[in-house]
Structure 1
Amino acid sequence: MLPLMAASPREAWTAAPAPFVMGTTRPEDTAAGQWVRKIYGEAFRRLGIPVRFEVHPVMRLGVLLSQGELDGETVRGPDYASGLADVIRVDEPVWNAVFALYATHPALTLARLQDLPATRWRGVYARGAVECERTLIPLLAADRLIDVQITEQAVSMVATGRADFLCGFDLVVLSAPPAAPEARATAPLRKLINVGDPVPLYLHVNRKHAELAPRLAATLRQMKAERLIERYWHEALQAFGK
């Protein structure tokens, strides 16, 4: 009698595909984290591919994606792939991010970014916010500009008076609770001024998924036409009382 095989050729052929591993900086218990999980959960459901998410610091994500330890990264600017080996952009923008300066103190106003050097304000931004770096570093001395690991830290620094304003993009800033409990009862963040033009954000994938990229682009395009991505954003904000 022949020994039993672990799986027949047919079973092996029809085995469920491995999950597509998406990297993000946003934990699931934030509005932006919920938002990206809804977007890509639905996109990959339509493609018949399971997906799971891993949270990593912003600078680590690019390394893991280049090495193929992550299959994709949820949202990055249009030029992100140019600085990374084996990373390609899925050519359908997911969202247009608006970078801006935010503050809580009601007395702070700013008509032009060029007026920042004449103030005594100290700013903070999360590492990887390239538009913030590009705009603020030429305007402010090094002792007036701080970079931190995540946006929640920046929000807490502003809320507790350790910084006067933060720079970040709307999706993350508006959905981020302050990390410090003592900051939660302070005045809400309000926008001072936009920084640069809106920046389209894209899904990026490791080059081994190059054949999948056009299908992902078409799926995201259809979801946008259905206004699903916008709806998911409003649902995520409402879920967190925003």
Structure 2
Amino acid sequence: MRRRQFVTGITLSVLAGQRAGIAGPPRRIVLASLVTNTEGFAARWLTLIYTDAFRQLGFELEIRSFPAARAGAEAAAGNVDGELARSFEYQAMQPNLVRVPEATFFASTIAYARRHDVLLAPGWEGLRDTGYRVEYRLGYPAVASKLADVLPPSQLAEVRNAETGLRKLVLGRSDLYVDVEDSIAPLLERAEFRNAGIRPASVLQRGPIHAYLNKQHADLALRLGAVLKKMRDSGQIERYRQQAMHQN
């Protein structure tokens, strides 16, 4: 009898310890982001969505902002737990990451121009045989791959950041700058570019944006996808969109 009581006491102690662990402080997860909350509503929207989603899973989210190439390198090296927002195709370029199955939203990749005589058909194929000098941001391997399929290397160049890409358009040192609309729209509102005559020349692609987690978090990626779906179905993601749009 005394042995049975002793075993039961151990079992209860273990269960109590497990409950205490569950009730303890949330675990931390760190994701790299290509944009900051000051660069437009999309970054604020993502912050609201994923802070809530990870909280529901018992995690405290930390977001660290990096240039695109650095974000990819940090994720590949395991210095962060994943990336906050990348295209569907990004999975093929980052074998150490797994795509969260539920997309957050859809984004457009745009070719921007300043010259009035630049005319393009929609889609990547609209660039083929055009002869235009095209620049794009370093650290977007999916964009680089799509451009390489339709243009020779002599017509392509990388820039380190979006501001540089837009400035080279203004100076006439390139004919087109390719980037994600959500990143460029806030920049075109700045005094430097507001009256520069930069315009969208063509929508090259519109596709889903996903979070990515390191492979060791594969199970968490599935659970996060399920939480995001519930949030979408309940209208919470749309409510966060409205909130982000009205934040300054």
Same fold (TM over 0.5): yes
Structure 2 equivalent of residue 73 of structure 1: 83
CA-based RMSD of the aligned residues comes to 3.2
Does residue 1:57 correspond to 2:67, yes or no? yes
Is 1:97 paired with 2:112? no
Deviation at residue 47 of structure 1 after TM alignment? 2.8
> Offset at 1:202?
1.3
Which of 203, 215, 222 is residue 194 of structure 1 equivalent to? 203
Matched, 1:84 2:90: no
Q: Is the 8 A contact 1:19 1:52 kept in 2?
A: yes
Q: 1:191-242 CA distances to partner (integer Å, 9 max, x unpaired)?
A: 222224x3222111112222322221011112222444455456545556xx
> Hey, what does 1:217 align to over in structure 2?
225
* Aligned residue number for residue 155 of structure 1: 166
SS class of match (1:50): strand
- Displacement of 1:12 in angstroms is 6.7
Deviation at 1:10, TM superposition (A): 8.3
Normalized per residue, the structure richer in helix is 2
Change (3 A) 1:95 1:10: closer
Which structure 2 residues correspond to residues 10-49 of structure 1 after superposition, within 5 A?
Answer: 14-31=23-40, 32-49=42-59
Percent of aligned pairs with the same amino acid: 26
Contact 2:112 2:201 in 1 (8 A): yes
Q: Return the letter of the residue paired with 2:75.
A: L
Question: Distance in 2 between the 1:114 and 1:202 partners?
Answer: 25
Distance 2:166 2:211 in 1: 26
Q: Could you say what secondary structure the match of 2:136 adopts?
A: strand
Output the TM-score relative to the length of structure 2.
Answer: 0.75
For the 8 Å contact 2:72–2:139, the answer to whether it is kept is no
Q: Which runs of 5+ in 2 are unaligned?
A: 1-16
Answering whether residue 169 of structure 2 is matched by residue 169 of structure 1, we say no
Which structure has the larger Rg? 2
Q: Distance in 2 between matches of 1:159 and 1:182?
A: 13
- 1:128 paired residue number: 139
CA distance, structure 1, for counterparts of residue 134 and residue 45 of structure 2? 27
Does the residue aligned with 2:37 lie in a helix, a strand or coil?
A: coil
Matched residue pairs, number? 230
| Separation (CA, whole Å) in 1 of partners of 2:241 and 2:37 | 14
CA contact (8 A) 1:124 1:145 kept: yes
Q: Distance in 2 between matches of 1:124 and 1:33?
A: 24
- Deviation, 1:139, is 4.1
